[in-house]
């Protein structure tokens, strides 16, 4: 069976998803403060790398581990389930907007849910 990465459309689809996701996240007053002053292009690149890896692309994720990357945001800025849910909601909305079918969206969302504890330090 083809990987989720292949079934969702490969690099182009993952890049489109990450770019649209960050458009939504940076426009969300609940989430935007977490990204103030950060390089949006770098964020998109990291998200593309993470999604590609998580979706089963033949690639390595070479950035900081998710827990380490988000630890300070959890401890000092109050990153919580509310924020995780908001990002996940924007991811789902991005996939819908890009025309991804419901079965693939459900697979993506189930996969993303598996990293909640890691991101939030649980």
Q: Say if residues 84 and 119 touch (Cβ distance below 8 Å).
A: yes
Distances (CA, A) of 51 to 22, 44, 75, 95: 13, 10, 25, 13
What is the reported pTM? Answer: 0.94
pLDDT score for 62: 84
Q: Helix, strand, or coil here: 70? A: helix
Phi, psi of 62 (to 5 degrees): -110, 15
DSSP 87: H
Question: In terms of residue numbers, what domain contains 8?
Answer: 4-120
Segment-wise mean pLDDT, segments of 10 residues, the chain, 122 residues: 95 96 97 92 92 91 87 94 98 98 97 95 75
> What CATH number has the domain bearing residue 49?
1.10.490.10
The number of folded domains in the chain is 1
């Amino acid at each position: 069976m083809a990987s989720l990465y292949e079934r969702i459309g490969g690099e182009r689809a993952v890049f489109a998803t990450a770019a649209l996701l960050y458009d939504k996240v940076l426009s969300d007053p609940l989430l935007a403060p977490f990204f103030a002053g950060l390089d949006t292009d770098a964020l998109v690149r990291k998200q593309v790398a993470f999604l590609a890896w998580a979706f089963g692309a033949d690639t390595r994720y070479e950035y900081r581990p998710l827990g380490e990357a988000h630890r300070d945001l959890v401890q000092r800025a109050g990153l919580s389930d509310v924020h995780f849910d908001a990002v996940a909601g924007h991811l789902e909305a991005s996939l819908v907007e890009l025309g991804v079918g419901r079965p693939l969206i459900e697979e993506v969302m189930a996969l993303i849910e598996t990293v909640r504890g890691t991101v939030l330090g649980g």
